Structure 1
Amino acid sequence: LDQLTKNIAEASLLLHKAVAVFPGFNLTLMYNKGAAFSFLSDADGWQRPFFVILSTAISIFLFFWLKQISNDKEQKDNQLLQMAISLILGGAIGNLIDRALYGQVTDFIQVYYSSYYFPAFNIADSAITLGAGLLILDMFLQVKTQEGK
């Protein structure tokens, strides 16, 4: 889904030309050489190999964590945790593909309020953010479950 939406954005949007969808939401093609939400995008170029290696390492870790959970009797039924890790893993791989092949990530979702524009992002960033939120929720639910025992 991430790669498909990036391809559609590149085929149908002009670089830095906003297409208003509704107030507070634009589609705007941008390229990001940094991390999520344009972090380190102005660095001198060292960030490409750094983020490729980091993303690869994180993806491998998440894959094996997910595999370990599916083999763990106590956690294999924890669908929230599996969904959280899967979203983060999918998002990491989506941006890793861009970064490894093109040296930059394609962003096209732009959210704003009044004159404040949040950094542009993509479906992979959304999956990572949603997955991180679900991971935090799962941790809170696990603490509550442990307190109830």
Structure 2
Amino acid sequence: MSLKKAYLLVIIILLVDQISKIYVKTNFFINEEVYVFEWFRIHFIENEGMAWGAVIPGDYGKLILTLFRIVAVFGIAWWLWDSVKKKHSNFLIIAVALILAGAVGNIIDSVFYGVMFNDSYHQVATMFADEPYGKWFYGEVVDMFYFPIWEGNLPTWLPIWGGKHFTFFNAIFNVADVAISTGVGILIVFNKKAFGSK
């Protein structure tokens, strides 16, 4: 795959990611939910930290996380360029392009959204608001896809979790997260094809 095609893939994913996030941000308030199907909902939340909502504690934790992400993106971008230059497998190039697109998509939220939008609590946010909710590098990542495939109480005979309420699959994510997960999945499932020589 050429570098031009790899960059085109990155740009398409970025556009879909940002359009979906801006739409949700300017049409939903925090925790508003729309049922598409019983097992698929659009549920708007904002993620302050890393995957699964993890955060780095302290006043500068969010800034450290955002700066780390930016450094990581430069590393991933170099990996993509190097993989194309050395004519590595398309499995590797596509996987790295997906990871790059997802990482950049979430960085855009972290860097810009704090100064682009007002907050979404009990109201729909306004883009380019006079009173934004944050500052540069302190934005929150918009998540919206929710697939609670099964929800209910587990059988009482199960050890530890028996009788407790359980939701499978309870993560809420965005297009950028899907791109990163798909890229990593390709590297794991097609490991030999991705890293083997042509």
Asked if these proteins are the same fold (TM beyond 0.5), I'd say yes
TM, length-normalised to structure 1: 0.84
**Alignment equivalent of 2:35, drawn from 20, 34, 38:** 20
Q: Does 1:131 align with 2:183?
A: yes
Identity among equivalent positions (%) equals 26
- Corresponding residue number in structure 2 for 1:110: 146
Equivalent pair of 1:37/1:121 in contact (CA under 8 Å): no
- Corresponding residue number in structure 1 for 2:93: 82
CA distance in 2, matches of 1:118, 1:12: 23
Q: Residue type of the partner of 1:34? A: G
**Who wins on radius of gyration, i.e. which is larger?**
2
Structure 1 residue runs without a partner (length 5+): none
Length, aligned pairs only: 141
Q: Residue type of the partner of 2:104? A: I
How much has 1:7 moved relative to structure 2?
Answer: 0.7
Q: Within 5 Å, which residues of 2 pair with 1:1-149?
A: 1-40=16-55, 43-73=57-87, 75=88, 78-101=89-112, 102=114, 103-112=139-148, 113-115=150-152, 116=167, 118-141=170-193
How much has 1:14 moved relative to structure 2?
Answer: 2.8
Secondary structure of residue in 1 paired with 2:36: strand
CA distance in 1, matches of 2:194, 2:105: 29
Equivalent pair of 1:33/1:47 in contact (CA under 8 Å): no
CA distance in 2, matches of 1:136, 1:23: 31
CA distance in 1, matches of 2:46, 2:185: 25
Structure 2 residue runs without a partner (length 5+): 1-15, 115-138, 153-166
Return closer, same or farther for 1:64/1:137 CA change in 2, 3 Å cut-off. same
TM, length-normalised to structure 2: 0.65
Return closer, same or farther for 1:48/1:105 CA change in 2, 3 Å cut-off. same
Q: Over the residues paired in the alignment, what is the CA RMSD in angstroms?
A: 2.0
Q: Residue type of the partner of 1:127? A: A
1:25-58 superposed Cα distances (whole Å, 9 cap, x missing partner): 11011111011231228x4443311221111111
How much has 1:133 moved relative to structure 2?
Answer: 0.4
How much has 1:141 moved relative to structure 2?
Answer: 3.2
